[in-house]
Structures are given as C-alpha cells and as structure tokens.
Chains A and B, each alone.
Chain A
Amino acid sequence: MVYEAQLGHPGGDFSSADILAALYFGVLRFDPTKPGDPGRDRFVMSKGHCTGAFYAVLAAAGYFPEAELTTYMEPQSRLNGHPNRNYLPGVETNTGPLGHGLPVATGIAIAGQMDGADFRTFVLTGDGELQEGSNWEAALTAGHRKLENLTVIIDRNRLQQGARTEETASLDPLDDKWRAFGWHVETIDGHDPDQLLAMLSASPKGRGKPLCVIANTIKGKGVSFMHDNVDWHHGVPNKEQYEQAMAELV
C-alpha cells in the first residue's frame, strides 16, 4: 500500500501489525456488517498515521473489500492518510493529531461504565505520542474513575519521527508512570501472539483499574532494512527495496 501510494508510515505499521491482528482476530467482539452495534467492543487507533496496518486489518476483518486497499490515499478514496469514521465503517473516531485516542476512548469507557454495559474499549497509542499532555489528562480521569473496561496498548518501539524516545523526551520508567496514575500495568512482547491474546482477552471484571499493556515492539519489524531504523518512520521503499521487503515478509 505504501509503495503504491508512495506515501505512508511503514515503520509504525510494522511495529503495530501483530497487536492489531491479535485484537481483530482473537479479542474484539464485532460484526463488520453492524459497525454501529451499541454492544460492540470499541477499538480506537490513536496512532492514526499507521493506517497502512489499520486498513489492512479492517479489510481482512470484513469492514470493506480488500481490493479497495489499492486506493490508499488516492484522490477521494475512503482510505484517507488518517482514518475518518464518516468514510469508513469500523473507525470509531477521527485521529491523526497525536494524543487524541485515549481521551476519546476514556469517554467511551465512561459511557459503558454508566450503563453497566459489558463492551470493552481498547486504544492503541504510539510511545512517542505519550509526550502529548492530553494522554495524561485522560490517564488521570480513567484512573480516578477505575475504568476497568478500558485498555490502552502502547506500541513501545522506542522510536519517534526524529530520534529515539529516550533521547528526545524520555518516557522511562513508563510502567511506573501509569501505575502512579491508577492503572494496572503489564509489559509484554508486542510481536508474540500468545502473549498478546492472553493479556488482551482476559476478562477485566474485578480488576478495578484500567489496564495499560506496554507492548515492546520493533519499528519496521519484518523488513531487515527498516528494522529499528528511525529513517523508516515515514518513508517509501524504492523498487528494489519493495521487492526485498515483500520477499522477506513472505
């Protein structure tokens, strides 16, 4: 998709792909033919720039035809560079600017808590985007309200657009920060399907706190020349790179 569009954010697409696959094919309760079902589990893609991975998973989950993926970022495509709920079923809220997903997901979880509903709300954030203060406002509210129906998954690839997170505005100790805000925190391998499925599908009932899953990942996972390489936050492979990447991914 990125190669055809000649635009995109492949590094973050690859770091989050396993998390998205685990969510959509092992955790979330949804019916792609009823995207507005009040009882659906919600997933909010806070790292809205990683639509390469998000759209691929939404299509595979049945929200729209996979053939449409070839229109990624073309004029008037529903597959905007950042997701738009008014174009595309399965998108809960429009993201793109960072630090928007968790606050909105917090509101969704509050609605569920008010109604005693049993749907869960998941949000995937990047790690660099945790530098946005809005996340910590929401973390405070979610912790205060003991939103056990809310789970944030942090795609902890340790790279942001320009450099390593710890060289830019360090986040560690990240687990302690979330604990201090009233969250239950677990750290897992974000590329291990077994760990992802076990952690995310466990019932939240009785936990009494929102859950923060720090998923350690590798930016550009699966493609050797993108692997943990800051140059591939956004970037477009040339023909040789594209062919090499596709060969490695298969």
Chain B
Amino acid sequence: MSAAAPAEAGLFDCRDSFAATIESLAEQDARIVTVVSDSVGSSKLAGFRKKWPERMVNVGIAEQTLVAVGAGLANGGKVPFVSAASCFITGRAMEQVKADIAYSNVNVKLIGQSSGVAYGELGPTHHSIEDMAWLRLFNNLTLIVPADPWQTEQAIRAAAVMDGPVFVRISRMPVPALARKHARFEIGKAETLMEGNDAAIIANGTMVHRAVAAARALAVEGISARVINMATVNPLDEAAILAAAETGAIVTVEEHSVRGGLGGAVAEIVTANTPVPMRIMGFPGFVPTGSAAWLMEHFGLTETGIADAVRQTIARK
C-alpha cells in the first residue's frame, strides 16, 4: 500500500516545535511559566526567556529542586512547564517526580528533552533509555512521546489544558513530518498511520517514521503491516493494541531499553488478553560509544531492521 508524501519536506527538531508552542500558549495564558535547571539552551527556551524573563525560574543545576519548584508553582496557581534533559529530570529527581508530582497529583508538565540516545557519544550517563520504564510505574502520570513536530505541538497543547501531571518526552533527533490523512491528536488514543492485517508495528517517537518506511518496504513484497503511532504510553490505548493482536504478529519499536518501556506496556496487554508472537525492539541496556545514528544502525532500529523483525515475527505465527 502507498501513503501520501510527507506534508513538509525536510527534517525537524521537535524541540523547535516545543519552544514555538510554549511561547504561543504563554501569550494566551499568563499562568504558564517555565522552570529550568541551567537548561535554557538545551530546551530551546531562549526565546521564552527573552519575552518573559520574569516567568522563567532557573534553579541552577539542581534537578530535585527543579521538579519540586514545579510542584510549588502549581500550588501557587501557575501552570509550570518544567524542562530539562530527560536523563536528569527523571533519574536525578525520581523521588520528586514520584512524591511531589505524581503522588501529590499536581498540575505540572514535565518535559524530558533530548531523550533516548540523542546524546550518543556522551554515553549512557546522558542517554535516557530508562525513562519510560521508570515513569510508567506512576499510574496517574500521563506519558506522551510525540513522533514529529506537529504531534509535539499537539502534545504540548493537550498537556497545557489537561488538569494533572504530564510528562512529554522530546527528542533532538531530526525527524520528518509524518503524512496523515486525519490529523487529530487525543491523549490516550493511538494513531494508525498505515493499515495492514499481516502484522502490526507499534512505535513511538523517533521510531515512527522508520516503522512507516519499513511497512512501505514490506508492502512491496506483499506483506501488509499496520503502523500504529502509540504516542501516549500512559494511559495506553488498549483497544488499538487488542486490534493489533488480531493481525497475529506484533513488533514494537522505541528509542528506549527493551525492558519495561512501550514494548513492555504492549506485552502486558497482549499476554493478558490475546497472546500472539511479539518482538520488542529497542536497546538491550547500556550501549557502547557511538553517535545516535550509529547506535540505531548497530541495534537494528532501522527500516531494514524493523522489516526483518516483522518477517520473523510473522513466521512465528
């Protein structure tokens, strides 16, 4: 099957979409403030700071206070967007995310920037391939992993209007704008980008456009693979997963560890309902030194690697 060409040519850094959206929202809603930990540049918030220096709180290199100050600002009536590198806002401040944000159930938006292996050569201290597994344990924390600039804008806008804690995971890896017939975003609703009945590929974030490319390659061989963009990891779109299981073969792909992320979440639903062969694609754990592009190639998170996984999983039906 064929899909329409991308609406916009070229590649995009979703952080730019985040920055433009937060500025647009801040113009309309005086309650919106940003909180950073010396992470203005890496969050692309220099423009926000220039426009509203009094509405940005920079706590310095102090992630526990970063997250806790977000909780306090919400108590004081603000809608804080708390933005820092995903590896630090999660791992370094996990108890604040748990107690001050999730368990306290406050209206704070956490933005995990440059997630996955975007900081490739800097190594596993700076990779954030554990974040979804950690955060998925907090049942009331909405988790969104947008796949392209349009969806990033939608995710930020949806987070802003929702009353409750949200974590949005944003990559700095360049991605194309996805082609969509029906551009609609709703928290908790998966997006089917390609129809197919031989297998289903469930992906999110930077892996979605690769999944689409793999499905197109498979279509040439006569294999019809459904491509589901599972941008919301919590709450999960269980109906979309159960429908995917009807194809008889599921491959999940994420820029994350294979342990406990999107793949784990999908497997929890599939095994409890309609067990079918599954393959969980991602990183095995701490990875060797290399650029993000090299790491994805090395671990098969490519069009070719995903297509191979689909063929192998179909063979296990």
Show the binding face of A for B, using Cβ within 8 Å: 38, 42, 84-86, 92-97, 99-100, 103-112, 114-115, 117, 133-134, 137-138, 140-141, 144
Comparing B4-12, B92-100, B190-198, B233-241, the segment that makes contact with chain A is B92-100
Mind listing 12 A-B residue pairs with CB under 8 Å?
A94-B103, A97-B99, A100-B99, A103-B100, A107-B69, A107-B80, A110-B69, A110-B73, A110-B76, A114-B78, A137-B59, A141-B60
Q: Which residue of B lies closest to A107 (CB)?
A: B72
Please tell me if the beta carbons of A93 and B64 are within 8 angstroms of each other in the complex: no
Question: Quick check: is B139 within 8 A (CB to CB) of the other chain?
Answer: no
Q: Give Cα A107 to B80, complex, Å.
A: 10
Please tell me if the beta carbons of B75 and A92 are within 8 angstroms of each other in the complex: yes
Show the binding face of B for A, using Cβ within 8 Å: 33, 54-55, 57, 59-60, 62, 64-65, 68-78, 80, 95-96, 99-100, 103-106
Please tell me if the beta carbons of A38 and B100 are within 8 angstroms of each other in the complex: no
User: DSSP majority for the A interface?
Assistant: helix
Please tell me if the beta carbons of A104 and B75 are within 8 angstroms of each other in the complex: yes
Please tell me if the beta carbons of A112 and B76 are within 8 angstroms of each other in the complex: yes
Please tell me if the beta carbons of B100 and A104 are within 8 angstroms of each other in the complex: yes
Q: Which residue of A lies closest to B61 (CB)?
A: A137
Q: Give Cα A167 to B187, complex, Å.
A: 52
Q: Which residue of A lies closest to B63 (CB)?
A: A137
Q: Which residue of A lies closest to B140 (CB)?
A: A86
Please tell me if the beta carbons of B68 and A106 are within 8 angstroms of each other in the complex: yes
Q: Which residue of B lies closest to A103 (CB)?
A: B68
Please tell me if the beta carbons of A137 and B64 are within 8 angstroms of each other in the complex: yes
Report the minimum CB–CB distance from A39 to chain B (whole Å). 10
User: Which A residues are CB-close (under 8 A) to B71?
Assistant: 93, 104, 107
Q: Which residue of A lies closest to B102 (CB)?
A: A94
Q: A38-B77, A103-B65 are in contact. Are A108 and B99 (CB under 8 A)?
A: no
